[in-house]
Structure 1
Amino acid sequence: MVHRTRRDVLKVSGALLGGIAVGTTVTAASSTDRFIVRTRGRGVPKGVDVVHEMPGTDLAVVAGDEGALQSARGVKEYAPDIEMELDDPPVNADAPRVGETSVTDEPFYGLQWDKQDLDVPTAHETTKGEGTRVTIIDTGVAAGHPDLNVNEDLSKNFTGDGLGSANPAGGYHGTHVGGIVAARTDNETGVAGTAPDTDLVDCRVFSPNSLASFGDILAAVVYSASIDADVANLSLGAYPVPRQGMGSFYGKVLNSAMTYANSQGTLLVIAAGNDAADLQHDGRVCMDFDDDGETECNPVISLPNEGAQALSVSATGPVGFNWGDEGVKQPAHSPARYTNYGTNAVDLGAPGGNYDPAFPEGWYYDLVFNTIAEPNFDDDGNYLGASYSYAWLAGTSMAAPNVAGAAALVKSANPDYNANQVEAALKQAADVPEGYDKTYYGSGYLNILDAL
């Protein structure tokens, strides 16, 4: 039994990354009145309120007195839910316009080195993702953005903040991720997504104060499976999480939710993280894990990308795109300087953006350009709507949705494929670029055309 007397502090990197990809550090405290529960199949005990049921699993998120859980025979084990507060950096939204030079007639396509390198327009000659569904588990995907079509009926707010779904109430990040997957190509406006005809669903797990809970994320994963999502994108993560103690419990319940989703046909595409960490050989990490002022050394894991059934995505990107006097100094498939890596910890490499601090001017052209929505609130915290535009961001958060969109295309072209077959098609089509180390790519660099 894991009790709330311990305080679990996680360093969360890359869950919300704006501007240059340098990562963010986040402190996450255990909740004192909300718990993740593994039951014995007898339902949730009396004395607590159910926050999230997760049909098909033995998991639930409940709120109330811990004493009701300690004495309940139907409870196998439990632990406090974790509330994560993220440092959300400012975003550069001053995007210059470009001419309409694309086969997709999207005026900003010239800034999308990621779609150009993946040759998305040629992939669209086969499919644009019709007949598929992708959920975005993030800060909210703005249905009001003119370059996005969001399924508002299926979209869901998991936070309990009362601000609804299909909006960017939790921040700009989710709309950027959603656009990478599915920005429209039929409106001669803005940018192009990889799978513009997929059914895009918002699963909001972040609130205006950038708070998210581990339980909400679990519930969103299970919900994605319940609505027959073919792909769920999770551009979020925690690292380093200790494998022992409370970390063991959280890893166990995460694996349970992820295994269930995969069995139901939902491929989980997850950002590998932005710590420049070797996840294959990270071994023991020394830090103050339990917030007691003392340094402990523990074996660690990165979650959820090292969880069961995860398709973990590292980031690549160019240096010198659209600004170098002598052309591109590093190609689009070059590993990004911030990306996590590890041969067996990463499954695919994909465009996420890069930068070189030696070149301070024009750096943003090497980041990923796509849709953005910034929420507006009054002094009382009431949501007033959003400002819609386009911006450059970078991180494995941007690499994952490039793979999620590709997965939707593969599923669209092969509707009988299950989640494992879609993943296999992507891996088999990928190759490690010549002259680069496999440890950054797993199976290789994303190749949409060969996967199709």
Structure 2
Amino acid sequence: MTHYRRTVLKGIGSAGLIASVVGTASAGSGDARYVVTAGGGAEKRIERVGFAVRHRLADGSVLIVEGPADEGSALKSVGGVRTVARDLRLAFEEPVLETAPDTEDEALYDLQWDKQVTRAGAAHDITTGEGATLAILDTGVDHDHPDLTPNLDADRSRLFRAGEIRDGSGEIEVPVDRNDERKGTTTIEAPLADDVYGHGSHVGGIAAAPRNDAGIVGTAPDASLVSLRVFYYDEVENEDGELVSSLTTTTADILLAIDFAARMGADAANMSLGTPPLPPKSRSEGMHVAYQRVIQSATRRGTLVVASAGNAETDLQHGGQYSLPNSVPGAMSVSATGPNGELSFYSNYGTGEIDVGAPGGAYETTEKSLSGETEWPYPTNFVLSTVPPEYYGGQTHAYFIGTSMAAPQVAGIAGLVRSIDPDLSANRVEQAIAHGAVGSNGRSSPDLGAGRVDALNTVERVSDGR
């Protein structure tokens, strides 16, 4: 197989949806948007002081509220209101290392070391995830990709934009050149939940690409994929002070998507996105509390929330740093491993912060990852999955690395578990995945938590009632 090095290399890093704060979000009317946590009866009191409650999440304990930007103090003083935070506008930081192979018509399973080390192929002799639903909260999932379309549930897919939930088809903005944001965007007619960048399609393929000889196979190849697109193009100011079209989202959009995944009965909600490490003092602030309430509500309703641990090479155990949403109690936090089962050079880690490790690509060092002298030489030690050919020079598959690639391995295993026992609670599904992991004694490992996931071990244990 021939690989061509159409490589984007802006310094060594990883492919992950790291969202940096670029300001506060406003409603279309010009009002401010707030994320409010509240107790019983607060909703009516909020409306009586002139604010509009647009969405109720987590049984009404989290509210998306719109109103005057200069009246936040009035909102905080309403009886029953616990925390108030302006909705944050977040910008996607682009992947800095990726490469696309020339796939032609070749079958690609031999290049999927991630499925080989997790023994996904053998697990498929027991279950393929049929009947399970995996929600992908991301940049969208390609609706026309031959390695995705058979499993994509377009009817349940949605776009979450500026505090609104949208379905169907319409005009969407896509990049003129995904590698140069200065070239701006163009508008096309497409499903609103279609992929506008490539990251979400890559994630979706890892989780549930079908077995149809179109290229790769996902961890749960007969599970349904639902695209919950939370990233979209909008104008932001770059570091040079220029207004450019950039992938953005808001905290409210992400929270709405988590809640929607639970409402529609998704077995797992994959969140290959997150913030950079945050200071410990912000754990008690409104956004952290809102994430915790919404994620724990989703878990109670049966949806396992799987989150990438982040790519900042940071110890999340010491110094009190954390990241969202993976550090929230209730989310299953996933670090990244390479072909040898060791922690990848970019992955966050920390005892109590990592639940399991999973293949995300690359080795322990940058040099080893880019070497041609390893068992899986560059770029094959990255994770191969699906991408929209219109953004990748006609190529249908590409190699990425990141904890973004690790999380959907786990979401796929959750789909396998639920296909065996649909009545298992989300907590029991998480426990099954942790107990089936290998390479770690209990939950003591700062790198891998309970260990690196093993699909075959997990489904065998569930099938045997263990």
Do 1:29 and 1:83's aligned partners in 2 also have CA atoms closer than 8 Å? yes
Task: State whether residues 15 and 98 of structure 2, in contact with CA within 8 Å, keep that contact through their aligned partners in structure 1.
Answer: no
Q: Which deviations, in whole Å up to 9, do the C-alpha atoms of 1:6-60 show, x marking residues without a partner?
A: xxxxxxxxxxx99952876834323362211223444352644455432623212
Q: Which residue does 1:357 correspond to in 2?
A: 367
Report the Cα distance in structure 2 between the residues aligned to 1:22 and 1:93, rounded to whole angstroms. Answer: 11
Structure 1 counterpart of 2:168:
none
Question: Are positions 1:145 and 2:145 aligned together?
Answer: yes
Does the 8 Å CA contact 1:241/1:247 hold for their aligned counterparts? no
2: CA distance, partners of 1:267 / 1:386: 35
In structure 1, the residue matched to 2:37 is 38
Q: Is the 8 A contact 1:274 1:339 kept in 2?
A: yes
Q: What does residue 180 of structure 1 align with?
A: 206
Residue-by-residue CA offset, 1:182-218 (whole Å, 9 max, x unaligned): 1110x21111001121121111111122111111111
**Would the alpha carbon gap of residues 447 and 246 (structure 1) be closer, same or farther in structure 2, given more than 3 Å must change?**
closer
Q: Which one-letter code corresponds to 1:57 in the other structure?
A: G
Tell me how far 1:397 sits from its aligned partner. Answer: 0.4
Change (3 A) 1:92 1:35: same
User: Whole-Å Cα distance in 2 between the matches of residues 92 and 245 of structure 1?
Assistant: 33
Residue 165 of structure 1 corresponds to which residue in structure 2?
A: 192
Amino acid at match of 1:119: R
- Residues 327-342 of structure 1 aligned to structure 2 (within 5 Å): 331=340, 333-342=341-350
Query: How far off is 1:141 after superposition?
Result: 1.1
Q: Which one-letter code corresponds to 1:217 in the other structure? A: I
Residue 231 of structure 1: aligned partner:
268
Give the aligned partner of residue 309 of structure 1.
330
TM-fit CA distance, 1:176: 0.4
2:154 counterpart letter in structure 1: E
- Contact 2:15–2:400 (8 Å) recurs in 1: no
Instruction: Give the secondary-structure state (helix, strand or coil) at the position aligned to 1:438.
Output: coil
Could you tell me whether the CA contact under 8 Å between 2:19 and 2:90 is conserved in 1? no
Do the aligned residues in 2 keep the contact of 1:152 with 1:165 (CA within 8 Å)?
no
Name the structure 2 match of 1:367. 382
What TM-score, normalized by structure 1, do the two folds share? 0.79
Checking the alignment, whether the CA contact within 8 Å between 2:98 and 2:401 is kept in structure 1 is: no
8 Å contact from structure 2 (residues 153, 225) kept in 1: yes
Task: State the partner residue of 2:20.
Answer: 26
Rate the CA distance shift 1:373–1:53 in 2: closer, same or farther, 3 A: farther
Match of 2:85 among 79, 83, 88: 79
CA positional deviation for 1:425: 0.8
> Unpaired runs of 5+ in structure 1?
1-16, 101-106, 284-298, 319-330, 377-384
- Is residue 98–residue 398 contact of structure 2 (8 Å, CA) maintained in 1? yes
> Partners of 1:387 and 1:226 in 2: how far apart?
37
**1:191 partner amino acid:** I
Pair 1:53-2:56 in alignment: yes
Deviation at 1:175, TM superposition (A): 0.7
Aligned residues: 389
Instruction: Please report the TM-score for the alignment, with normalisation by the length of structure 2.
Output: 0.77
Displacement of 1:450 in angstroms is: 1.3
Give the SS at the match of 1:255. Answer: helix
Which of the residues 192, 196, 200 maps onto 2:225? 200
Select 1:278's aligned residue among 294, 315, 324.
315
- Residue 64 of structure 1, aligned match among 57, 60, 67: 67
Tell me which amino acid in the other structure corresponds to 1:306: S
- Look up the SS of the partner of 1:218 in the other structure: helix
> Does the 8 A contact of 1:272 with 1:340 survive in 2?
yes
Offset, 1:111:
1.3
Change (3 A) 1:211 1:251: same
Moved more, 74-83 or 267-276: 74-83
Task: Name the CA shift for 1:25/1:175 in 2 (closer, same or farther; >3 Å).
Answer: closer
1:97, CA displacement in angstroms? 3.2
What does 1:52-451 align with in structure 2 at a 5 Å threshold? Answer: 52-54=55-57, 56-66=59-69, 70-71=73-74, 73=78, 76=81, 77-89=83-95, 92=98, 94-97=100-103, 107-148=107-148, 149-160=151-162, 163=172, 165-169=192-196, 171-185=197-211, 187-208=212-233, 209-244=246-281, 248-281=285-318, 283=319, 299-318=320-339, 331=340, 333-355=341-363, 356-357=366-367, 359-360=370-371, 362-373=377-388, 389-432=396-439, 438-451=445-458
> 1:242 and 1:342 mapped to 2: Cα distance?
15
The percent identity for this pair of structures is 37
